[in-house]
Structure 1
Amino acid sequence: MHHAASRAPASGRLLSFTAALGMLCIGLPLSAQPSPAAPGQNHLKEKHAMTTSDISASQALQRTLELIRGSRSVADITPETMQGAFGVQVKKVDPQQFGYGQRLPGNWAFSIMRQEVEGAGRMDLNFDPLPGTKAALTDICDPDFAHFTAELESMGFARHSSHGEHNRWIYDAFERPGMRVEVYPEVARADNGDATGPACVKMVLVR
């Protein structure tokens, strides 16, 4: 079994994963008292019945797409719309910082966080191995990068790729009026550098 190390920007990953670790509460899902939905938000609030059960990596990805689909901008992502899309009770730190995190099978953890970064609203979805462990990408690769990003294009986002030094692929960006989504890939590779599976979604930033 081959494992992958993340190539996402260190600053954004550290901020989100630090928050996720604090929210995981030794592996238990977060809980908070539900708040009334704002006008016009019932379509997301009622999307999934509230549950105390953990959600899977696949559900985390699919429900992130639902949240993006139902939002015109990051300002539309509220505790109520996140709670409605994910079917879990989010933890609110303050009106601009809230989210949910839990452990996943296979030594993974995920977090979904809405926060203020450098004065601007941003939502982060992160998958990270639990500290001191190794985790197989196959456990978080349904839907894979291709299928996840195809859904964004179907919502009317224009797509372009971002590359770094030596033309290294960093992420694909998706833009439409009022919203930008960056999807960071991760690919498991053998010792010789060859890919051993499809690209998976490691992190999603919504600005």
Structure 2
Amino acid sequence: MILTMLGACRGLPAAPKPHPEHAMETHPMTTPATSDPTRVQLSAQQAMERFLDLIRATRTLQDITPESMHEAMGVDIQSVSPDHYGYGQALPGNWAFSVERKDAGGAGPQVNLSFSPIPGKSASPEGACEPDFAHFADALLGMGFTRHASHGEHSRWLFDYFERPGMRVEVYPRTPRSDRGAPTGPICVDKVLIR
């Protein structure tokens, strides 16, 4: 998953395993946080705030380029192809995140920010939950987006999507749970997808 392609893609950071409903990346390329001590390292909170900055500065998905992504995120964006580029890194608490722009075939281009636990490690639920889902949603509403909920079978909440002319942003929740399955804290952001 996250570190699988490290040997083959030494300088190419990218996405952790995508949300199952929107599988996009078949060969993740994240490098460990300690691979280059001079490389900028973001916290989960910085990653989410900077992704909000990217959305704020963008009118349509087509406006997102490697340069605009670099400017908003403040990290070195790696290009795999003209239509596939991004950045990924490990986070404290055995988490990793990535921001990636990729053409998703019939679904068209999309940009995502996603958080995943590092495989084989016990990840702290709080390790990637700042700002939480409610604060992230409020920031989008403050940018003029309208909010809608998407539900699956048995009315199970899947995600909220936010729309404004030229852009749709889907925000997928992750709820930290105890060993018994009870919620243990605020709803976190698992993944954000711009279409």
What TM-score range do you get, normalising by the shorter chain? Answer: 0.7 to 0.9
| CA separation of 1:28 and 1:112: change in aligned 2, threshold 3 A | farther
Q: Which amino acid aligns with 1:60?
A: A
What is aligned with 1:39? none
Listed one character per residue, the Cα deviations across residues 95-136 of structure 1 (whole Å, up to 9, x for unaligned) are: 111000000001111000001012411001110011112212
Equivalent position SS for 2:136: helix
Equivalent position SS for 1:124: strand
What is aligned with 2:170? 182
- Cα distance in 1 between the residues matched to 2:35 and 2:58: 25
183-192 or 113-122, which deviates more: 183-192
Equivalent position SS for 1:138: helix
How many angstroms does 1:194 deviate by? 2.6
Structure 2, unaligned runs of 5 or more: 1-17
Identity %: 49
What is aligned with 1:12? 22
How many angstroms does 1:159 deviate by? 0.4
Structure with larger RCO (C-alpha < 8 A, sep 6+): 1
| CA separation of 1:171 and 1:11: change in aligned 2, threshold 3 A | closer
TM-score when scaled to structure 1? 0.79
| CA separation of 1:72 and 1:94: change in aligned 2, threshold 3 A | same
Structure 1, unaligned runs of 5 or more: 1-7, 31-50
- Cα distance in 2 between the residues matched to 1:202 and 1:97: 21
Q: Which amino acid aligns with 2:41?
A: D
What is aligned with 2:90? 103
Q: Which has the higher helix share?
A: 1
What is aligned with 2:73? 86
How many residues align structurally?
Answer: 176
What is aligned with 1:148? 136
TM-score when scaled to structure 2? 0.84
- Cα distance in 1 between the residues matched to 2:125 and 2:53: 23
